[in-house]
Amino acid sequence: MLPSVPDHGDGEPDPHDGSPDDPGTPDGPDEMSTGSAESHERPTVRQPRIRRVMHPRTRDALAWTWVLLASLTLALLMRTFLVAAFLIPSESMESVLEVGDRLLVSKLSYRIGDPSPGDIVVFHTPPNMRPSQTSELVKRVVAVEGQMVQAIGSQLFIDGHRVAEPYLPSSTYTRDFGPNLVPTDHVFVMGDNRTASQDSRYFGTVPESEIVGRAFARFWPLSRLGGL
């Protein structure tokens, strides 16, 4: 009698069968290549930033240097284009302005507008007054272009009409002059202290281009601090 041989045709597959359809068999070459690629990938290491440590005193000194430079630059720009200081050198504008008073002068006023009667202005000293103690004078505008100005009996007249001057003491004496016609782009200026002022009655009208600016405030002495 021949020995019986087990029939695997209809039963479960042999676990030891090396069939290529066996899902348990790994794809050796693919998995190995993937593992090899991953093993060569390394994370990027960021180098630490080198910190520059400054001594606190050095840092403060630099900060104050920048502050001073910025302040000086601003002051220079303001003096050049906006505001200037002016020292009253004589008694020609008493009693409103006294010798030694310090004024703030707006350089922008007449770049955006025109001088008006009553304005106190600083202007370059006219050539026919040089040499002078100062290169700039301060006076009050009493008439502008196109106006006829004159004084009769200590009273000021513009275009034939008497002009009130509340900034003058009632006892102020004004010598007779005129009539004078103010040319285009000029102003007629006078000092408030009429008997001690050299002004347009002596050196003529002042071109508007020679005006430095309008005095708008007194900042010294502190006891007389205020607007003009």
Write out the catalytic residue numbers: 92, 139
3 state DSSP class of 30:
helix
**CA nearest neighbour of 140 among 94, 87, 101, 93:** 93
CA 195 → CA 153, 172, 173, 223, distances in Å? 14, 8, 7, 27
| Token pair belonging to 105 | 């002068």
Q: How many CA atoms lie within 13 A of 1 on its CB side?
A: 3
Token readout for 48 is 């630490």
> Nearest Cα to 123, choosing from 196, 206, 219?
206
Tokens in use for 228?
Answer: 């003009």
In sequence order, what are the residues at sequence separation of 6 or more whose Cβ sits closer than 8 angstroms to the Cβ of residue 103?
Answer: 85, 86, 87, 88, 97, 122, 138, 215, 217, 218, 219, 228
